[in-house]
Chain A
Amino acid sequence: MAGLLELTVAEAAAKIAAGEVSRAEYFEAWRDAAAADELNAYLWRAEEGDSGGEGPLAGIPVAVKDLFCTAGIATTAGSRILEGHRPLYTATAVRRLAEAGAGVLGKTNMDEFAMGSSNENSAYGPVLNPHDRARVPGGSSGGSAAVVAGGLAPCAIGTDTGGSIRQPAALCGIVGLKPTYGAVSRYGMIAFASSLDQCGPLTRDVTDAALLLEAMQGGDPCDSTSVGIEGGVEAPSREDLRGLRFAVPAGLADDAVDAGVREVFEATLSRIEALGGEVGEIPLHHAEHGISAYYVIAPAEASSNLARYDGVRYGMRSEGEGDVVEMYESTRAAGFGEEVKRRIMLGTYALSSGYYEAYYGQAQKVRTKIAADFSAAFERFDFVVTPTSPSVAFGLGEKTDDPLAMYMNDFFTVPMSLAGIPAISIPAGRAEPEGGGPRLPVGFQIAAPAFGEQRLLDAAYALERAIDG
């Protein structure tokens, strides 16, 4: 049985298609593995086997972040306010995976409403990092990253608003891809920040990421902002990086990156050159303001998106003492966690009459400038590369009292989210944490122009082979 769990999704799908492995056997093996979750990574696990659907992912179990609505299956967004909520419908991305033959293996733990970088903001307790259970897996898709890295699922999907797929993928040592905004439908993905949210795969390798993306991507009449990737995505096959130009943002947060992470990053740049790629520097003048802009825009949209959780139609209700207004207040006070409340307050303030221009308006201008910086960079380079996260996985509780330090985890991932462009994090090696201890995974981030997923996956694939070799 153990052999089955070693297979990548692509390998397993091939064996199932060839009739070498039965889909029931494969799915059962993963159900058993998921049942052994000691990481608090699952909030719900399938009690039955494979869905029986046909297609390129026939018989493949997928772990699904609990932000995706699944009909009849509790979907909480990691929040007390949606405890026990059973959606009436299934998210488009999950439906498309099912149409490709995949089945939902389980729903994964996450930071409440995808707000967090450590998974410590879940109402259902933190997820543990499979490489060191005293450390965080990253967030907000921490459960999805932990199940793939911890051998509890062959693959997973998550969502990325400012780094929520890439950062946990990096901290758990797996591949995480945030597609171009609009590549995958957001319908049924519980909204955090609508102009930034995007769904993507968390997988063992780049090929599997391509496979899942191809199944999920495409325009959806239920999501006006979705268009899909023209021509779709094929399995990557490139073996070198000849003729490709990689840009490193000049001086971006030189001091903020841990020495070990920097070392791995430099080594990866050398591998790129060894594969025939060209490495240069470009200025990303406004990227350093990304975090500031992001923490205005995302909370502003969240303050509106989360206003519907009022106890009237679904989810938790706390009656309170008096009228319906008190019921709202009582429900929201009891149902939301600290970080969610903080962001609702920040966002409400930023949109308030008299402050809108100074905060939301200004942040949108910064966003436009960051996107323009990337456009300029892509005139001379094919990709922009950075470390995915400034550090390896940090200790549980280490940053919970310091929201700003926590927000800085997203320093390298937020600019791509603001620009709406695709970015992938691949495992690039290991580094010793600051303060010592066993070496932990380090992620390498590659970003491409909008809808450049195929080229991005091809380059990441070539680099991945060089790193693994």
Chain B
Amino acid sequence: MVERDLEAVIGLEIHVQLSTQTKMFCGCALSFGDEANVHTCPVCLAHPGVLPAINEEAIRYALKIAAALECEVAPRSIFHRKNYFYPDNPKAYQISQYDLPLAVNGRLGGIRIHRAHLEEDAAKTIHLGASGRIHGSGASLVDFNRGGTPLVEIVTEPDLRSAAEAGAWARLLRTTVRQLGVSDVNMEEGSLRVDANVSVRPAGSEALGTKTELKNMNSFRFLERGVEAELARQRELIEAGGRVEQETLHFDPADGALHPLRSKEEAHDYRYFPEPDLVPLAPTEAMLREARASLPELPEARMRRYEGELGLSAENAAQLAADPEEAAYFEAVCERAAGVEAQTVANWVTGELAAALRQAKGEAPAGSKVSAESLAALIAMVGEKKISHGSGKQVLATLVAEGGEPAEIVEREGLAQIADSGELEAVVSAAVEANPDAADQIRAGNGKAIGAIVGAVMKETKGRADGGEVNRLIKQKLGV
């Protein structure tokens, strides 16, 4: 069997930390990077006698996510206890949702969502010792600040077919959730955590192969690298006549390798049972309406609109729709550049402007000195041939550096296009005479040689000439 015959089957499990004021089941503030164990109370430390009380804000946030993922919300979902011993789990059970989750059957970006449910985050442990694992470590330190942070776990169907697709989809999910304003979705800080279930199967087969679970990939790049490496390993294994074992693999960012977790840490019987301390979660009609009504235009819908209504290329539509601020900037420019094709604006924003900002190591467009008004004015001037495209780029560089009005910059720097064709004809004639070799070659049929004469004209006019017009005049002069 050759490699390309084995199809990749990838599903993602995403944990999103909600950015509520307080924890899932107590009144402690959420935090990141604070002194250890300052955001704790008897409830999140699991002192004797305490009970959980559900954070209503977390439910509202989860309902927003469910609405954005087009999920069906269960009229009545329940919490379960997932029992296991670990120092980061002070109750020795995690309150999570099991067979009746908050939301099911959604979709995003063409990928089906299996379910989305609410649960609580674990505390943070640091195991001292060589392995960095609990077994065999000399001592373990626990910081309970994170313990009890509200999480929404989102599980996709195994619909993704490559590492790149998995990475792209995870980015779309992040942008979508970020726009809802319900999470910081920062992978490095762990407010967005993506695990991948990876398997391969003969192309065209409906059955699923044995999967492995990839954890600890704390960037999109690591996600793609981890999945890529695991797909290669599984394909190699199967081609060599081996079998994939179901296991959990930890991605090591240091060497990019995947390491199996020790089986003892894996052998769990979680003894799930309904959490008797909580009543069923039954969102009201009003809460559901509120969640749906609060949804902004999300990247996927925006992308469809850019492609369908504005006629952008698929690539530009995806690029501009992904970031809500960049999208807003793009639309503001479109609005002010009346009569200019949206695609032309897109070219400027994703092309010239992005390049100029990159070169100046500047901000994102919305935060830069280039206002939507000035970019629109600039694009219009180029479109109306008041300045050449090259001069336009020059004006843009000035705008990036110091802001201002494009018209004033053109004026100040003398960039207005030479409108008098007599003046331009004179410059062209001089340039042809000054470059006899090039002129001969052009006459002999070497079209490329025209570049040297165009360059001379541009140099003479300081870029104020229209390139198309210059070309035409040169050819006219040489009779080709």
What residues make up the interface of A, taking CB atoms closer than 8 Å to B?
68-69, 75, 77, 82, 85, 87-89, 91, 186-191, 193-195, 221-225, 300-301, 303-304, 307-310, 312-314, 323-325, 328, 348, 351-353, 356, 360
B134 touching A323, Cβ below 8 Å: yes
Q: Is the CB of A187 within 8 A of B273?
A: no
Q: Which of B47-55, B234-242, B336-344 is the interface stretch?
A: B47-55
Chain B residues with Cβ below 8 Å from A88 are 42, 47
Identify which of residues 364-379 in chain B touch chain A, using a CB-to-CB cut-off of 8 Å: none
Name the residue of chain B whose CB is nearest to the CB of A221: B53
A189 & B91 in contact (Cβ 8 Å cutoff):
no
Closest B residue to A300 using CB positions? B273
Is B83's beta carbon under 8 Å from chain A? yes
CA distance A303 to B270 in the complex (A): 12
Judging by beta carbons under 8 Å apart, are A82 and B277 in contact?
Answer: no
How many B residues are at the interface, by size bracket? 20 to 34
Tell me if B's interface is mostly helix, strand, loop or mixed.
loop
Q: Which of A221, A224, A308 contacts B46 (CB 8 A)?
A: A308
| Alpha-carbon separation in the docked complex, A300 to B273 (Å) | 9
B262-296, CB < 8 A from A: 269, 271-273, 276-279
Contact A69 B49 (CB under 8 A): yes
A-B contact pairs, 15 of them (CB 8 A): A187-B50, A191-B51, A224-B51, A308-B46, A308-B91, A310-B87, A310-B92, A313-B45, A323-B136, A323-B137, A324-B134, A325-B134, A325-B135, A351-B271, A356-B273
A356 to B271, CA, bound (A): 8
CB neighbours (8 Å) of B273 from chain A are 300-301, 304, 351, 356, 360
Contact: B140 with A324, CB < 8 Å?
A: yes
Known: A351-B273, A353-B271. A304 touches B81 (CB 8 A): yes
Q: Is B93 an interface residue (CB 8 A)?
A: yes
Interface positions, chain B 11-60, Cβ under 8 Å from A, are 42, 45-54
For A223, the closest partner residue in chain B by CB is B51
CB-CB contacts of B286-314 with A at 8 A, as 1s and 0s?
Answer: 00000000000000000000000000000
> What residue of chain A has the Cβ atom nearest to residue B275's Cβ?
A194
Q: Are A348 and B271 within 8 A (Cβ)?
A: yes
Query: Is the pair A351, B83 in contact by a Cβ cutoff of 8 Å?
Result: yes
Alpha-carbon gap, A61 to B51, bound state (A): 27
The answer for the CA separation of A354 and B320 in the assembled complex, in Å, is 52
Contact of A323 with B279 at beta-carbon distance under 8 Å, contacts A187-B49, A308-B46, A308-B90 already known: no
Q: Inside 8 A of A187's CB, which chain B residues have their CB?
A: 49-51
Q: How far is the CB of A134 from chain B (nearest CB, A)?
A: 33
**Contact B91 A307, beta carbon cutoff 8 Å:** yes
In the complex, which residues of chain A have a beta carbon less than 8 angstroms from the beta carbon of B48?
Answer: 69, 75, 77, 82, 85, 87, 190-191, 308-309, 314
Contact of B276 among A190, A194, A325 (CB under 8 A): A194
Interface residues of A: mostly helix, strand, loop or mixed? loop
B93 & A304 in contact (Cβ 8 Å cutoff): yes
B142 contacts A by Cβ under 8 Å? yes
Closest chain A residue to B270, Cβ basis: A353
Point out the residue from B49, B140, B271, B272 that lies within 8 Å of A91, measured CB to CB: B49
**Bound-complex Cα distance A190 to B90 (A):** 15
Q: Given contacts A85-B48, A351-B271, is CB(A304)–CB(B92) below 8 Å?
A: yes
Name B142's contact: one of A75, A221, A304, A312 (CB within 8 Å).
A312
Cα–Cα, bound, A350→B408 (Å): 82
A308 touching B53, Cβ below 8 Å: no
Write out the residue numbers on chain B whose beta carbons fall within 8 Å of the beta carbon of A77: 48
Cα–Cα, bound, A325→B140 (Å): 11
Q: When chains A and B are docked, how far (Å) is the Cα of A89 from the Cα of B52?
A: 15
Query: In the complex the two chains form, is B271's CB within 8 Å of A188's CB?
Result: no
User: In angstroms, how far is the closest chain A Cβ from the Cβ of B197?
Assistant: 20
In whole angstroms, how far apart are the Cα atoms of A432 and B83 in the complex?
48
A224, B53: Cβ atoms closer than 8 Å: yes
- Beta-carbon contact of A87 and B142 below 8 Å: no
Known contacts A191-B49, A307-B83; is-contact A225 B92 (Cβ 8 Å)? no
Find chain A residues with CB under 8 A from B47 CB: 69, 87-89, 313-314
Q: How far is the CA of A97 from the CA of B271 in the complex (A)?
A: 37
Cα–Cα distance between A221 and B55 once the two chains are bound (Å): 11
Question: Which residue of A87, A313, A352 is within 8 Å of B49 (Cβ)?
Answer: A87
Q: Which of B50-92 contact A (CB under 8 A)?
A: 50-54, 81, 83, 85, 87, 90-92
A304 to B142 CA separation, bound complex (whole angstroms): 21
Q: How many whole Å from B206's CB to the nearest CB in chain A?
A: 28
| Distance in Å: Cβ of A171 to nearest Cβ of chain B | 26
Within 8 Å CB of B91, what residues of A?
A: 307-308
The one of B90, B142, B272, B279 that contacts A225, using a Cβ cutoff of 8 Å:
B279
Supposing A304-B92, A307-B93 touch, asked if A323 and B135 sit within 8 A by C-beta, the answer is yes
CA distance A278 to B255 in the complex (A): 82
Cβ-closest chain B residue relative to A361: B273
Contact B54 A352 (CB under 8 A): no
Residues of A within 8 A of B277 (CB): 191, 194, 223-225
Q: Which residue of A lies closest to B279 (CB)?
A: A224
B51 & A222 in contact (Cβ 8 Å cutoff)? yes
Interface residues of B in 88-142 (CB under 8 A from A): 90-93, 134-137, 140, 142
Contact residues in A for B50 (Cβ distance below 8 Å): 187-188
Complex-state Cα separation, A353 to B271, whole angstroms: 6
